[in-house]
């Protein structure tokens, strides 16, 4: 399997990890969109986590 061009780029990984700190989660979303659009995919460290379902409130 071929690796993503940014897979081993530590500077990009650090930038991505720092962008989620201090409530700037929209920065991570924009980063993912740009990288995915330009490269056709994401490195493993930037992949989206699958969201679980929210528990329903008991009425």
Q: Return the domain boundaries, the chain.
A: 10-46
Structure tokens that stand for 33 in this block: 């969109």
pLDDT at site 7: 93
CA distance 13 to 35: 12
- CA 10 and chain centroid, separation: 15
pLDDT at site 52: 55
For residue range 2-56, list pLDDT tens digits in order: 788 999 999 999 988 888 777 677 888 899 999 999 999 999 999 988 765 566 6
Structure tokens that stand for 40 in this block: 């056709």
Q: Taking the complete model, does pTM exceed 0.75, yes or no?
A: no
CA distance 56 to 37: 35
- Asked if 4 and 43 count as a contact pair (C-beta separation under 8 A), the reply is yes
């Amino acid at each position: 399997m071929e690796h993503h061009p940014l897979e081993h780029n530590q500077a990009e990984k650090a930038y991505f990890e720092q962008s989620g700190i201090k409530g700037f989660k929209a920065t991570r979303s924009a980063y993912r969109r740009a990288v995915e659009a330009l490269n056709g995919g994401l490195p493993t460290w930037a992949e989206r986590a699958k969201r679980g379902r929210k528990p329903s409130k008991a009425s």
